[in-house]
Amino acid sequence: MNGSRAQANPDATAALEYWADAFPVGNHTWTHANLNDLTAEAFGDEIARDEPLLKKVSRGDWHWFRYPYLQEGDDPAKRLAVRRYLASHGYRIASVTMTFDDWKYNDAYVRCAARGDQAAIAKLEEDWLDAVRYNAEASRTLAKAAYGSDIPYVLLTHFGSFDARMFPRTLALYREMGFHFVSLEEAQNHPAYAGDDDPAAVPGPAEGLPAERVPEIDLAGLCV
């Protein structure tokens, strides 16, 4: 979670508490800061500033960290300094080995829903499901090349109005493709993630992601 967003919207804190009743909540920095734009020290301050709200809403261990924008540092020294900071403060890094640009669809969906353009929404739905399948297959191909078999993937998704609309069909598609769901901790106990919490480890194949599929429709121009 990004605490600044909850602070700006009191309802968001209440929503976080409901979420924390069912699922773990982790640190994503206070403002969703990009490490490439900050010093390691300033990034550490972003992490620390998120912690009071995490302690307030969490029901268990909140010491999971996901890098905003999946950026782990634009030079080796910065990357190493932040990893050492996280390790010294008891964090595990939440990796990502499967994702797609789900967040890109939300603005177009809101515009099309406001206009009642069901044909355009149907195009969004079709393209979304194509993206889910394409990127899942690409992640599997990468893992099999690196490790010789599937691994427990860590899936990154976002909150949004179109995410909510598509979530049941998205889960159904993943299950149709042979996936089932486990906790983040269970997934990352696999050897593919062994180096993720080692401050000195060189990034391994599990930290790489295949190039994401470019949406085949003009999301910015739809329903404008």
Residue bearing tokens 């905003």: 68
**Confidence (pLDDT) at 206:** 45
Mean pLDDT within 65-92? 93
| Owner of token pair 């967003």 | 5
| Architecture per CATH, 3-93 | Alpha-Beta Barrel (3.20)
pLDDT in tens, 54-70: 999 999 999 999 999 99
User: Which tens digit of pLDDT belongs to each residue from 26-35?
Assistant: 999 999 999 9
Average pLDDT rounded to a whole number, residues 203-223 = 78
Place 10 in a pLDDT band, splitting at 50, 70 and 90.
confident
Cα distances from 114 to residues 110, 126, 203, 220, in angstroms, run 6, 19, 44, 15
pTM score, two decimals? 0.90
Q: How far apart are the first and last CA of the chain?
A: 31
Tokens (6 digits) for 166: 């598509």
Query: E strands, the chain, where?
Result: 64-65, 92-93, 98-99, 155-156
Q: List the beta bridge partners of residue 99.
A: 156
pLDDT at 151 over 70: yes
Sketch the domain layout of the chain as residue ranges.
Answer: 3-93, 98-207
pLDDT higher at 189 or 201: 189
